[in-house]
Amino acid sequence: MGRKPKPPEQRMAFFTACASGASLRKSAALGGISRSTACLWLKQSGGVRPRATKPRPALRLSLDERETISRGLAANRSLTSIAAELGRPVSTVSREVLRNSGRHGYRAAHAERLSEARSRRPRLGKLALDDRLREHVESKLQVCWSPQQISKRLIAEFPDDSAMRVSHETIYTSLFVQAQPGFKAELTAQLRTRRLRRHLQRRVASGGKKSRIPGLVPLKDRPAEANDRKTPGHWEGDMIVGRYGTSHIVTLVERHSRVLIAVPLPHGARSEIVIAALIETFNKLPAVMRRTLTWDRGNEMARHADFTIATGIPVFFCDAYSPWQRGTNENTNGLLRQYLPKSTDLNLTNTERLEEIVAELNNRPRRTLRWQNPHEVFSAACVALTA
């Protein structure tokens, strides 16, 4: 006997639980399925919730009716008696049996699967039908734009062309759902997370930590104007570490425009080296764009007082285990890691390549900037403040 297919209600219950943020185990339990079945469904759907199925037409045989037919055939009953029990015409039962392996090979579960397959009306997605739109989306995916960035930027780039419109959900569906034609499979590797299906994000709270940084000024003392992001010139900084912890790059992100500056540290990450690199970098910026700097509690900023004396920029430090307090920098570091994974020896990344990566990130449109890119917003802010 074939395996009995799961009712559509179970599938929808499972995906509804997943969408609400429940764990895989809990979602499987709410859907009345095993964990292995849950994993299979997620793999087949790419983590994208399937559309709700339409009610079964009254003229179409149900799984229970097919099981009645199967039992009747096994008991060697006539098709007429089986049809009478079901309240169906004999011709309906006869066609059902003939199209599903005949009297001696009929199985209810197998017949149900074949019926579902016949009733589907596969419809190609928009990206599979429109070569021009698909090629444009592919070109942006290849330079690591997110589906939402691509979708929103289309409106600005093609304001009078309604054909050049696609939602980010359609892009995700074409990337992740196995049955949905659209893109080449390798394009999923261009997504920031490199995942093969969509995942929920969960945050874990942490405890406190003592700091070894002298003269530390807490984040709560930072000027209020830095919090709302309306005033340019407030920066967040951090240091990303390469393979074996032996190579480093300082990343600086301006809170108003989200523009990124990356500073390589080929000679190590001792505090005096980091501070010297920061001083050189900030002294090249316009004075109006040098207001505050926010950092985590890394020991590379132990000499932050020297930086403040040389630049006039006060440094404020996040609470322990609270990277979300400089979330703009954390998010940008995640974007940078798409190009420079943790296994990368950052000392082997030449300056020209690093500048290309930074330029690419600074020219990506951002939802928080109303689909402008950081370079555009930063340039506009500099002009406005110096006018």
Residue written as token pair 């979300």: 324
Residue 203 has pLDDT above 50, yes or no: no
The answer to whether residues 296 and 323 touch, using CB atoms and an 8 Å cutoff, is yes
Residue 69 has pLDDT above 60, yes or no: yes
* Side-chain-facing half-sphere of 257: CA atoms under 13 Å: 21
306: left (phi over 0), alpha (psi -120 to 50) or beta: alpha
pLDDT reported for residue 206: 40
Max mean pLDDT among 52-61, 163-172, 267-276 falls in: 267-276
Residue 209 has pLDDT above 60, yes or no: no
46: left (phi over 0), alpha (psi -120 to 50) or beta: left
Instruction: Classify 261 as helix, strand or coil.
Output: strand
pLDDT reported for residue 202: 44
Instruction: Give residue-wise pLDDT tens across range 115-132.
Output: 877 776 556 678 877 889
Q: Residue 10: in which H helix or E strand, if any? A: helix 8-19
pLDDT reported for residue 154: 93
**What is each CA distance from 327 to 72, 253, 295, 296, in whole angstroms?**
66, 10, 11, 11
Residue 264 has pLDDT above 60, yes or no: yes
Domain boundaries, the chain: 8-45, 63-119, 126-190, 219-386
pLDDT reported for residue 190: 61
**What is each CA distance from 188 to 134, 184, 321, in whole angstroms?**
14, 8, 32
Residue 289 has pLDDT above 50, yes or no: yes
Residue 282 has pLDDT above 90, yes or no: yes
Residue 193 has pLDDT above 70, yes or no: no
Q: Residue 187: what residue type?
A: L
Residue 199 has pLDDT above 60, yes or no: no
If one counts every other C-beta atom within 10 angstroms of the C-beta of residue 224, the result is 7
Max mean pLDDT among 100-104, 209-213, 259-263 falls in: 259-263
197 versus 66: the higher-pLDDT residue is 66
Distance CA 166, CA 354 (A): 32
172-181, 182-191, 201-210, 370-379: lowest mean pLDDT where? 201-210
219-386, what's its fold? Nucleotidyltransferase; domain 5 (3.30.420)
CA angle 314, 319, 281 (to 5 degrees): 35
pLDDT reported for residue 249: 95
- The number of helix segments (H) and strand segments (E) in the chain equals 17, 5
Max mean pLDDT among 186-195, 211-220, 367-376 falls in: 367-376
Max mean pLDDT among 9-18, 136-145, 287-296 falls in: 287-296
Q: Whole-prediction pTM value?
A: 0.55
| Band of pLDDT at residue 27, cut at 50, 70 and 90 | confident
Instruction: Give residue-wise pLDDT tens across range 220-259.
Output: 999 999 988 999 999 999 999 998 888 999 999 999 999 9
